[in-house]
Structure 1
Amino acid sequence: MSDAQNTESPASENPLSAWSGRTDGDAPEHLRWHQVVRVAEDAAHNDADRAGTALIGFASDEGVRRNHGRVGASAGPAALRGALSSLALLEGTGALVDAGDVAVRLGDDETPGDLEDGQAELGRHISGLLDEHRLVVVLGGGHETAYASYLGLAGSGRVGPNTRVGILNLDAHFDLREAPLPSSGTPFLQIARDEAAAGRTFSYAVVGVSEANNTRVLFDTARELGVRWMTDETCQTADVTNVRRFVRDFVQDVDVLYLTIDLDVLPASVAPGVSAPAGFGVPYEVIHACVSEATESGKLALADAVELNPGLDVDGRTAKAAARLIHTIVSRHRAG
């Protein structure tokens, strides 16, 4: 793995070592992900690779620690690769390349870890990958991953001075907290300020916000910033058509879309392996519908899945749920 202090190293030395699983044959109809994933440095040299998907991990717990959460998300990228490995490669998926992990040293209250350097490093890698591939998927890591993802998108050729950047967050939390240091609770406030500095409108929507888990000041901040949201109570199975419409309406107003999936939006029975399991949550089929709507819009450039804590998972349940969402994104993605 690379270290956030070493900004010259482009991710882990041997990312393919994490990919293994069942093999039924080498013909196209038998293929699984682990059979086709290649190292990013060996790809991106032909049109097929450029038309495919690049994966990169962010092995970070520092933002969760600063946000007083339960650490363990730094093991998320490896667990996600494991859960993805044996999934079937659907026709039309395109090339899959793995750029390895950017790792962040975990600190403590006296000596914080190198989160800011790690976010900057990951952002640089994402920018390069976005310029080489039609889609980039980031494997988190805590939700501090989101600020690095944004830095990568904003620094890529996909975004210009007049580009309308949309951020769709599937999450129980706004993550608009004001804090002395960046953390997993601050990324979207940081992004809002960066977008204002760039002269762009902050376009941010959240599906699944829990009124019980966001203070009034967070709702006030969201209103001041023009954030659109739906609460978890209005995102139940009976409301899936309304949720799809919410996502569709939001995406229509932007030019390029970044989708971020915080797994704590799901019910604790579906996603126990997160720092803050949901006491209510949004049903999996509703989250899957949001992912499908965003992916099929033709505007999705970047996605991440965050807050998987394998040490708290039960039978790999959370990792499998996340992997299926990633599989949907990659297999259904088409450039607009």
Structure 2
Amino acid sequence: MHRVSLIGAPTDIGAGARGASMGPEALRVANLGPILASHGVAVADRGNLSGPANPWQAAQAGYRHLPEVVAWNQAVHAAVAAELALDRLPILLGGDHCLAIGSISAVARHCRTLGRKLRVLWLDAHADFNTAELTPSGNLHGMPVACLCGHGPATLTDLGGLNPALPPSALRSIGIRSVDAGEKRFVHAAGLEVFDMRYIDEMGMRHTMTQALAGLDAQTHLHVSFDVDFLDPDIAPGVGTPVRGGPTYREAQLCMEMIADTGRLGSLDVVELNPALDVRNRTAELAVDLIESLFGKSTLMRD
């Protein structure tokens, strides 16, 4: 039986639009905890972390709000590490995607301690592989993958005690359809494995997920970093950076069900839900529906 801990991180400190700070509460309003509990999951809601307010300032030296982003990520790192040490599955309720730096660096440290392999699935419309030199905005929610791979300020790249926290080979980016020009070259040079929407269109979600999950074994910890803008905005309007042409409801369900089938899920981020841009909490309810599938909801009993 899964033992899950919900960790709220109510901040939009790394984003270019305000409102992701309300994401954790929207997920709770959509009954995330009780719905998981209905599947036999032991759920503990740890409440919300606290951190600095969003000063809403211009970028300095290529980064917006770097000290505040560092403070939030330190809090996330500590909270996720504490739950992993208790042999619980942490679900980070964001908040914007910069928080994955703290979450995943804690998971990577945990895996190193236990001698386990780590696979990270990055479900997102964006590659999030920008740097201070490449970013058009300075928003740190566009940089977490780069930071985790060692490209960024030391206050973030060193967060988990080892720089880089991850080799690019540990990552699989899925659903990508918006990459800045300089970032595109950097993704290619780094050798990131990216299953963009063209790949999904041509090969299908089943083949995509088979490839992304290939090589998992009993010694692999699987972390899913689920940016809600992964989904097509026609079904998930409540995000700050929507990009048309994302996975449909059924494609997203298949993605989650195939992850659940591995039995390897060890930690989860749910980020970039922006209730200020949503319609009657529809996007939060969809996110909860998909998370439910990650924990074994299926139409039929399957062997």
Same fold (TM over 0.5): yes
Task: State the shift of 1:230 in Å.
Answer: 1.3
Task: State the shift of 1:152 in Å.
Answer: 2.2
Q: How far, CA to CA, are the matches of 1:99 and 1:263 in structure 2? A: 22
Report the equivalent of 1:197.
163
Matched residue type, 1:201? P
| Contact 2:37 2:43 survives alignment (8 Å) | no
Residue of structure 2 aligned with 1:164, choices 104, 117, 130 = 117
Q: 5 Å matches for 1:232-247? A: 232-236=197-201, 239-247=204-212
Matched residue type, 1:313? D
| Contact 1:124 1:155 survives alignment (8 Å) | no
Q: Deviations over 1:56-78 (max 9, x none)?
A: 111110100xxxx2210000000
Task: State the shift of 1:300 in Å.
Answer: 1.8
Q: Deviations over 1:89-142 (max 9, x none)?
A: 444x23110111113311122693622111101110110101113411111111
Q: How far, CA to CA, are the matches of 2:294 and 2:56 in structure 1? A: 36
Aligned residue pairs: how many?
275
2:159 is aligned with 1:221: no
* Larger-gyration structure (1/2): 1
Report the equivalent of 1:79.
26
Q: How far, CA to CA, are the matches of 1:321 and 1:53 in structure 2? A: 20
Identity %: 25
Q: Secondary structure at the match of 2:268?
A: strand
| Change over 3 Å in CA distance of 1:232–1:263 after alignment to 2 | same
Q: Secondary structure at the match of 1:87?
A: helix
| Contact 2:253 2:290 survives alignment (8 Å) | yes
Structure 2: gaps spanning 5 or more residues: 59-63, 151-156, 298-303
| Change over 3 Å in CA distance of 1:293–1:89 after alignment to 2 | same
2:127 is aligned with 1:174: yes
Q: Secondary structure at the match of 2:242?
A: coil
2:240 is aligned with 1:275: yes
| Contact 2:121 2:172 survives alignment (8 Å) | yes
| Change over 3 Å in CA distance of 1:201–1:80 after alignment to 2 | same
Task: State the shift of 1:199 in Å.
Answer: 8.3
Matched residue type, 2:100? A
Q: How far, CA to CA, are the matches of 2:199 and 2:31 in structure 1? A: 31
| Contact 1:139 1:305 survives alignment (8 Å) | yes
Matched residue type, 1:114? E
| TM-score with structure 1 setting the length | 0.74
Matched residue type, 2:127? F
| Change over 3 Å in CA distance of 1:199–1:82 after alignment to 2 | closer
| Contact 2:218 2:264 survives alignment (8 Å) | no
Residue of structure 1 aligned with 2:47, choices 71, 95, 100 = 100
Matched residue type, 2:129? L
> RCO greater where, 1 or 2, for CA within 8 Å and sep 6 or more?
2
Q: How far, CA to CA, are the matches of 1:182 and 1:267 in structure 2? A: 22
Q: How far, CA to CA, are the matches of 1:200 and 1:73 in structure 2? A: 26
Q: How far, CA to CA, are the matches of 1:311 and 1:108 in structure 2? A: 17
Residue of structure 2 aligned with 1:135, choices 86, 89, 106 = 89
Residue of structure 1 aligned with 2:290, choices 318, 321, 325 = 325
Residue of structure 2 aligned with 1:303, choices 268, 272, 275 = 268
Matched residue type, 2:96? G
| Contact 1:161 1:200 survives alignment (8 Å) | no
2:141 is aligned with 1:184: yes
Structure 1: gaps spanning 5 or more residues: 1-47
Q: How far, CA to CA, are the matches of 1:199 and 1:127 in structure 2? A: 14
| Contact 2:11 2:54 survives alignment (8 Å) | yes
Q: How far, CA to CA, are the matches of 1:126 and 1:88 in structure 2? A: 19
